[in-house]
Amino acid sequence: MVAELWPGVPAAWSRYVQVPSTAAVDRPGTVHEWHLLDNAADLESRGVEPAGTLLCVHGNPTWSYLWRALSAAGSSAEKPWRVIAVDQLDMGFSARTGTFRRLADRITDLGNLTSALGLTGPVVTVGHDWGGIISLGWALQHQEQLAGVVLTNTAVHPAGFSLPPALRLALHPAVHGWGTVSTDAFIRVTHSLAQPALAREVRAAFAAPYRGAGRRAGVGNFVADIPADETHPSYRALEQVAEGIRRLKIPALALWGPKDPVFSDRYLRDLISRMRHLDVHRFEGAGHLVGEDRDIAGPILAWLESVAGQAAETPQTGTPAESADEFRPMLAELLERNEDNSPAVVDMAPAASGKAPAVLSWAELGTRVNALAAGLAGIGVRPGSRVNLLVPPGSELTTLIYACLRLGAVVVVADAGLGTKGLSRAIKGAGPDFIVGIERGLTGARLFGWPGTRVLAGEASPARRRLLGAAHTVAELTAAGTGQPVPDWQVEPDADAAVLFTSGSTGPAKGAVYTHRRLAAMRDTLRRTYNLKAGSSLVAGFAPFALLGPALGATSVTPDMDVTAPRTLTAAALADAAAAVQATTVFASPAALTNVLATAGDLDAAQRTALSQVDLLLSAGAPIPEALLARVQDLVPAAALHTPYGMTEALPVTDISLEQIRKAGTGNGVCVGTAVAGARVALAPLSADGTAGSEISEAPGTTGEILVSAPHVKDRYDRLWITEAHSSSLPGWHRTGDVGHFDADGRLWVEGRLGHVLTTPAGPVTPVAAEQAAESVPAVRLAALVGVGPAGTQVPVAVVETADGVRRPGPAEDSLAADVRTAVADRCGLDLAAVLVLPQMPTDIRHNSKIDRSALGVWAAQVLAGGRITAPGARR
């Protein structure tokens, strides 16, 4: 058994080194004793040569113990790394020097240590808190050895007069000495930031070097050395490092806890602005001690391997799909039709108040886009600027999007359907430079502290504008830009164009980054797949498609509905929108179509005639039962009904028509057809434990994670390096997180989400077929299959929402339970452990159609364990 000095730290790692000092604060000939944790002995005992050295620098008031998990991972990795975690002087178990050591001294100190150790390259620095700026200072002075930098919650820019409140308090004369030296208050407060709370023995280990005021002088001095303004002695050194890192071209990674009350996301945004090539991963829910809150050791080693220049593996089946189109910018159609006076965008919302629908011709739209682009440029919007749009679909949102594309700005779209918390997470994560929003959106920005210069879409009194913090209005910017030239900034096709957030139905919403080339490829895929030619007219009842009309050269109309709440679309609103542009195409989500059918009885003869002229109806966002589509067909008798399958990261992926759905019949899952133009689909087969490996297969009958390769797949996930590394771990393919199989005719069947696969003693079980069987029972409206129990031994439980509704959640009545059990057993051979009922299924907010199975699984386990019966709510 390995002897440990502290939890997780073998005694063999601990060592002391005598280091001559050249710091200006020390007299010539001064030698200091440093303590460090060094896993070199582990590597030597195994007879392995490390790939390099990770030089880890802690901040205040931690010590080298912070890096114990990284040291262990570095030792045991297949490609091991030596990890040297230092205790800075006056900190941890290193010497107490009796001198006030400033930032420049500490950078020199670290260089003295590495010289004494004879450290050579390749070296990757790893820093946290004020150890981040010190490690970067060392990196700038030792670039010949440097192979990369890793940063966790730190700050590098001159703090100016905007220090975080926690640091201002710690620096206050009435608090500083007492809080940092006389008592251990600063240390205890720092430990309390861990989420979840640190174990008692871990807290004790972190506190061990700082027992007694005599050992805490360095803690107080570190706080006092924070450059609060330009007169501070360490300001110049901080600024030199902050500016110097702009020239660093080596690989760089930031792992961040956004709930840090000190080093918040604004410091991350500053880092990104200085290191444009920085790889970033934000751990939602993690805080200042991100290395305690989350596993960062595994991601760091995976990142090191990814940047090591190793040859990428070739996909095992064929090659990724490539675009057959020459790049044509999203703005091309709009720019070419600047003298066309036919309608381009129609907004039906004004009609609800008795006004005429708002109509913009192509010429008017182009003029507004140019004026607004010039106005936005006047307030500092530049290529690469992030502009968050909190404006409902309609002519104003269309103008804003194309004005941003005109300037090369990056459009950030996270709709209110994410819910308040989800929307706030998304916006803070994206870190926009500007927020353009209606009054409700800017109210949220003010309330939740969303970053960015605020621009009001609409009108408000001066007092109201001040309250909202609106520096400008869209109307003012449009007026200011009217007649002004639009800056001729060249935008590269592979520059970022948009960050589009997922629905949040399977966890926190993720931002999918699209370049100009990939957005154009999405447009081209839709055009080729559905023959959407210039001159088409479409009703956009599904938000993603409301923005593509001008790029397609199609006249688009937004119905009178709240597109963030699909169930607000009525049959009359859909018909009126179709009539306004003699629509040939309709886009609508499944939830929207459900309400359209529910309100179809309100249609008059003219409205039915307008719908009868539609020749194509597309519905995306969730699977649609054949019976519902058949009813939709009665409303649009001349239309071909298609249900594209896709996701925010790739839309569309496959396509199937109502006729093809009927031909496919029933099977294990939902048949979504074959790949759309320019796309390829494959599978990564599931293993016995329900995970998907790295094999790529197109064999029929094999269940696996669905992979897609297409020119319109997202470029990457935004500031989620770990998530992106997994999703693109098979070069050229995007892992969708969905599971399915191909049938003998090459059609894809979706069987559910990878995260919803049950791991039973008999092997993995996908949920959709059993859910379809349960929903075949007349009394059942919706069903979800969840697993209860430990992985590998889960039992299947059906949770259902009945057609006539139940008042109380809990076990189903005997007759209903028996019917559901029989239906599932007959179709799937699956023996249900229980059948539970709910008054209403928890669904994601955006689609109102994706059941939150994670919430249901937790709830079902509690019910079966005799716990609370309260129904789970929708994810927010």
Q: 448, 340 in Cβ contact below 8 A?
A: no
Token digits of residue 64: 């080298």
Interior angle at CA 475, CA 474 and CA 481, nearest 5: 90
pLDDT of residue 818: 97
Residue ranges of the chain with per-residue pLDDT less than 50: 160-161, 310-320, 322-324, 845-848, 874-876
Neighbouring residues of 6: CB distance < 8 A, sequence distance ≥ 6: 65, 68, 205, 208
Instruction: From residue 49, give the alpha-carbon distance in Å to each of 53, 74, 145, 266.
Output: 11, 12, 17, 40
> For 658-675, how does the pLDDT look when each residue is reduced to its tens digit (9 = 90+)?
999 999 999 999 999 999
Closest by CA to 837, choosing from 862, 860, 819, is 860
For residues 502 and 413, give the distance between their C-alpha atoms in angstroms, rounded to a whole number.
Answer: 10
pLDDT of residue 4: 87
Domains and CATH numbers, the chain: 15-306 (3.40.50.1820), 338-407+430-488 (3.40.50.980), 531-643 (3.40.50.980), 758-864 (3.30.300.30)
Neighbouring residues of 10: CB distance < 8 A, sequence distance ≥ 6: 2, 3, 4, 42
* Phi-psi label, residue 678: left if phi above 0, alpha if psi -120 to 50, beta otherwise: left
For residues 527 and 651, give the distance between their C-alpha atoms in angstroms, rounded to a whole number.
Answer: 12
Neighbouring residues of 125: CB distance < 8 A, sequence distance ≥ 6: 54, 55, 56, 57, 135, 136, 138, 139, 146, 148, 149, 150
